[in-house]
Chains A and B, each alone.
Chain A
Amino acid sequence: EPEVTQTPSHQVTQMGQEVILRCVPISNHLYFYWYRQILGQKVEFLVSFYNNEISEKSEIFDDQFSVERPDGSNFTLKIRSTKLEDSAMYFCASSAPTGGSSYEQYFGPGTRLTVT
């Protein structure tokens, strides 16, 4: 069964460094998302992406964050200058297969980002 994959599974970085989190959405999906979950908190929406542009973003998604689909398969989240409070589990999701339903979002296993 097709699934969303994410790399790395765990990333440790120093405050102020740039990180790139990578995701491979399900191949025939059209919408891509990033969510994050700070330890013990709710899963929060960051950004959605469709047709090579951001379709919606939350207040969390400030100028330090950017997303890109550099090729036909990868979807990346970049944090330019990490802060301690960026430590969280980051989930990628995808939905809307070509010609299919658009309300089922499938999640990857997550990347645990630890900022020291």
Chain B
Amino acid sequence: GEDVEQSLFLSVREGDSSVINCTYTDSSSTYLYWYKQEPGAGLQLLTYIFSNMDMKQDQRLTVLLNKKDKHLSLRIADTQTGDSAIYFCAVLNSGNTPLVFGKGTRLSVIA
């Protein structure tokens, strides 16, 4: 089945850019997501990209997709202390099917 991998930790200075990476194994993955989890809170849908796109920008967030390498990244520009959270990569094959998640990357922002 699908496997999604992420590095577990990332530490950046406030104001720098953060890049969180994710790899997946199933080339038929159609939708790819980034969720954010703050301490004690649920999973907040941040952004997503369709597999027929290479890039999607949404304010400070940029998602890059390399389908050939099955690599997804999330770039956060001008990272703030409020961005400190766990970021989950998730993929699915078609609407209403289960999401497959990575383990999450804990982003720590140093002031």
Contact = CB atoms under 8 A, between A and B. Distances in A.
A43 B88 contact: yes
B67 interface: no
Nearest to A47: B98
Interface residues of A, number: 29
A103 to B, nearest CB: 4
B88 A103 contact: no
A48 B98 contact: yes
A109 B96 contact: no
A18 to B, nearest CB: 24
A103 B48 contact: yes
A106 B31 CA distance: 15
Contacts, number: 63
A107 B43 contact: yes
A103 B98 contact: no
B71 interface: no
A77 to B, nearest CB: 15
B19 interface: no
Interface majority SS (helix, strand, loop, mixed), chain A: strand
A56 B98 contact: yes
Contact of B45 (A6, A41, A44, A104): A104
Interface string B83-101: 0000010101011111111
B58 to A, nearest CB: 14
A45 B102 contact: no
Given A103-B48, A104-B48, A45 B96 contact: no
Contacts of B45: 104-107
B82 to A, nearest CB: 18
Given A56-B97, A96-B95, 4 more contacts: A33-B98, A42-B101, A43-B99, A104-B48
